[in-house]
Amino acid sequence: MRSVCHCDSDSFCRPQWSLSGEIISAQEAYRIGLVNEVVPAADLMTRAEAILKQVLSNAPLAVKYSLEAVNKGLETTQTEGLSLEASLFGLCAGTEDKTEGTQAFLQKRPAQFHAR
C-alpha cells in the first residue's frame, strides 16, 4: 500500500481529521488539499451543476473507467495502479465513443457519446 496522506508540519493530517471528527473551515480544507475549490454558499449549487455538466459531457465509459482507476488504484501498489490504468485506457481506446470523440474533435463539433 502507498500512503495518501500528505501531511506537513503545519497542516492537519487528513486521516487524523477524519478520525477525530474535528471541524475545519472550508478555507483550511482547501489549504490542505481536502477540497478542490471553495465557493460562496450562494454559488454552491450553480458551481456543482457546472462541474456535473462538465463531467457528463465526457464519454460515459471513460468517466466510469476513470473512477474505477482512481478508486481501485488507491488500494493497490503504484505498479498495480498503473497497470490497472493502462488496462482501462486500452478498453476505452476500443470503444465507439473514442472514435466519436476523435471525429468530433477533428470536425470541431460536440461529441455525441452513446456509452459504446
Q: Which amino acid is at 63?
A: V
Q: How many CB atoms lie under 10 A from the CB of residue 81?
A: 17
C-alpha 114/C-alpha 95 separation (Å) is 10
Q: Which domains does the chain have, with CATH numbers?
A: 1-38 (no CATH), 40-116 (1.10.12.10)
- Average pLDDT in the 58-66 region? 92
pLDDT digits (tens, 9 = 90+) for 84-115: 999 999 999 999 999 999 999 999 999 999 98
**Residue 47 has what pLDDT?**
96
User: What is the structure's pLDDT at 14?
Assistant: 61
Q: Where residue 1 falls among pLDDT bands split at 50, 70, 90?
A: very low
DSSP 84-113: HHHHHHHHHHTSHHHHHHHHHHHTTS----
> If 0-12 CB within 10 Å is exposed, 13-18 middle and 19+ buried, where does residue 62 land?
buried
Checking if the pLDDT of 49 tops 60, the result is yes
Model confidence, pTM: 0.66
Over residues 11-36, the pLDDT tens digits come to 556 667 677 778 888 898 888 888 89
